[in-house]
Structures are given as structure tokens and as C-alpha cells.
Amino acid sequence: MDEKGWGDSDRITREYFDSLLLEMRHLDGRKPDTSFSLYGESFSTPVMTAPLSHLDQVHEKGMVELAKGAARAGAVNWAGMGEDDELWEITQTGAKTIKIIKPYADNRLIFDKIEHAAKCGVLAVGMDIDHAFDVYGGYDCVRGYEMKPKSREEIMEFVRASSVPFVIKGILSERDAYKSLEAGARGLVISHHHGIMDYAVPPLMILPDILKVTGEEIPVFVDCGITTAADVFKALALGATAVCVGRVLLKPLEEEGAEGVCREIGRITGKLKGFMAKTGCCDLSHMDKTVIRRKFG
């Protein structure tokens, strides 16, 4: 990161979220509904867990407890890097889970993990393509595993190898969105991996441009910096299918395990309904980007 922190992408993202204001629209209002469908399954809320990893230091079997909480809340669960037996335990909770695989240099490992994820019964599988390089331009290394950038052709091979929808995480440009669509991706996650690069464009700033690429062909999710119901509402109003929340779930997970995760997702969803009710957005298919205004000055 630059020495003064001016390029901190998390800070820039927070400032962009806070620059977006909301109109109120009360006439002809209706009680809101936050349910939606994804890959043939129904969910109560568009507030999903983020693809976190290695949560045993937060709570015993933290990833499994996170999944239990998501299942109880009627939310999509995401899982990041982890061992095969952990993913099996996660899916056995009943949580509808999307497994994200790192861009390992060894493609054989990727194919093995795609196959294992399908056997575990995941909702979808995918890759966080933004973890290929370190800050010095060399190949990244995560927990002893070397990473490597993937070509569109390699992504096509992963898509063909998967019996469930394949999702690309780490999209932050129209260019990568086009290439992902061409490769057969069935979902995109707009994310800068919580500041993996300084001066990264805020996900909500690039979201409208990416939606012009995808149209209504595939779901588009937003990750990074979403900590409040207002953040969730703004992402949905601008066209996101659903959002990932991560860090705000860690304290509830630490203190109460699955019950804390469920309660926090429910709390955010409840306040989301409040924003929807006060802006005339009756359900997720009737979100309206025209309620968003940029802060003056």
C-alpha cells in the first residue's frame, strides 16, 4: 500500500458507498419481500456470506458454524480456501454453498477440487482470479501453494469440467466481464478482494458498466466493504443480484457461533426491508436505481 494510505481501496470503497444518497418514496408503498432464486434454489435474503477461509481461530469449526448460520437464515453460503473434508462438513449442514477455488498454478489441483465440490453437492463452484499475483508482480503464494493467472481458454476448460455453474470472482472491469462471459461463466462477483490492489475502482462504481456487458444473462454479485443494510440496498438498487458480507459476521460468529451468524444476517435483512419500504421497492425484481443520488459538493 502507498505510504500515506491514500490508495487504500477499502477506504475508497467506503467513501464511495457513503457518497450515494437515497430518495424516499412512500405513496403506493407495499410491504417488501427479500426472497429470490439462484441456480434453481430459493432463498429468503440476498445477504450472503462471503467466501471466507480458515475461521478456526474465530470459532471452533468456524467455517462449518458459518454455514449453519447461513442455512438457518435462508441465505447462500460461500466457502473459500480449505481442505476437502471441511467442504464436506460444510455442505452436510444443509447450507447451499458456492465453493471458490484459488487459481493454483497446478491445474490438476483445480480440476480435482471442482470434482470434489460437485460430489459434496455444492450449489456452484468458481475461482477468485484476483489472487494470481503478489504486490511485486510475481506469482502469489498462498499457504504454500503457488498461484498463476488463468487464460480465457483455461477458464473454458474449468467450466466444461464442472457439472454445476462456474462463477468468476474478482471481476473489476468490463474487459474481464466480457472474457468471463465468453468462457461460459454462470455468475460474476465484482470484488477487489478487500484491497488486494491500491487505488482499485469501487465495486459499485463499476457495477453499472459490468451490467451493460452481462445484461440479464447471468447473476452479478457484489463483494467488498458491505457492512450495513444501507450498503446492501445501494448495491441491489444499482442492479446486483445479491451481495456478500464477511467481516461483520466475524464477531457474531466468535461470540455465538451459528446462532450469531443467523441473527446478524437476519438483522441486516430486516433493516434492508426498511430501506426497501421507504423507497418504493417492493421486492428484488423491482429495485430502482433512480432512487440513488450522488452526494452534493
How many residues are listed for the chain in this entry?
297
Which has the closest alpha carbon to 32: 232, 174, 194, 211? 232
pLDDT tens figures, 104-144: 999 999 999 999 999 999 999 999 999 999 999 999 999 99
pLDDT > 60? residue 32: yes
Q: What residues act catalytically? A: 193
In DSSP terms, 37 is beta-bridged to 42
pLDDT > 60? residue 297: no
Assess if residue 165 is contained within a domain.
yes
pLDDT tens figures, 123-133: 999 999 999 99
Which has the closest alpha carbon to 172: 223, 115, 215? 223
Assess if residue 2 is contained within a domain.
no
In DSSP terms, 22 is beta-bridged to 292
Assess if residue 155 is contained within a domain.
yes
pLDDT tens figures, 224-278: 999 999 999 999 999 999 999 999 999 999 999 999 999 999 999 999 999 999 9
Residues with Cβ within 8 Å of 82's Cβ and at least 6 positions away in sequence, in order, are 53, 54, 63
DSSP state of 288: -
Q: Quick one: how far is CA 200 from the chain centroid?
A: 17
Assess if residue 1 is contained within a domain.
no
Average pLDDT over residues 198-206: 97
Domain count, the chain: 1
Which has the closest alpha carbon to 202: 182, 178, 173? 173
Q: Are 205 and 16 in contact (CB under 8 A)?
A: yes
Of the pLDDT bands very low, low, confident and very high (cuts 50, 70, 90), residue 216 is: confident
Assess if residue 290 is contained within a domain.
yes
pLDDT of residue 238: 98
pLDDT of residue 3: 52
Assess if residue 3 is contained within a domain.
no
pLDDT > 60? residue 209: yes
Distance in angstroms between the alpha carbons of the first and the last residue of the chain: 28
Q: Which domain holds residue 246?
A: 9-294
pLDDT of residue 1: 46
DSSP string computed for 13-73: HHHHHHTEEE----TT----B--EEETTEEES-SEEE------TTTSTTHHHHHHHHHHHH
Q: What CATH number is attached to the domain comprising 196?
A: 3.20.20.70
Assess if residue 284 is contained within a domain.
yes
Please tell me whether residue 156 adopts helix, strand or coil conformation: helix
pLDDT > 90? residue 146: yes
Assess if residue 156 is contained within a domain.
yes
